[in-house]
Amino acid sequence: MTGTSIIAIAAAIAAFTGIGAGVGISLATGKAVEAIARQPEAAGSIRTSLLLGAALAEATAIYGLVVALVLVFLKMG
């Protein structure tokens, strides 16, 4: 394997963090909807926790994208 192919594989693996974030956010949203359906009076605190968790998951996905782009562009430069 050449160095370029190893970099491409590493970038692809780093880009997969977006899939994990998407699955995580979808599971959290589903559980939040269930929780609000069971206890409507707690909707405010559930929504706050959901948004905080979703923001952290998206940040992880963005970090993975940045790492993938850095890997690709460092090899090209």
pLDDT in tens, 12-34: 888 888 888 999 999 999 999 99
Query: 54, exposed or middle or buried, with CB in 10 Å at 0-12, 13-18, 19+?
Result: middle
Specify the amino acid at residue 50: L
Sign of CA dihedral 39, 41, 43, 49: negative
Per-residue pLDDT at 77: 60
Q: Work out the average pLDDT over 30-48.
A: 95
Calculate the average pLDDT of the chain: 89
Q: Residue 32: give its domain's CATH number.
A: 1.20.20.10
Q: Is residue 77, in this structure, part of any structural domain at all?
A: no
Q: Work out the average pLDDT over 49-65.
A: 92
| Total number of domains in the chain | 1
Helix-then-strand count for the chain, H and E: 3, 0
**pTM of the predicted structure, to 2 decimals:** 0.75
Q: Is residue 25, in this structure, part of any structural domain at all?
A: yes
What range defines the domain where residue 13 resides?
Answer: 3-71
Q: Is residue 76, in this structure, part of any structural domain at all?
A: no
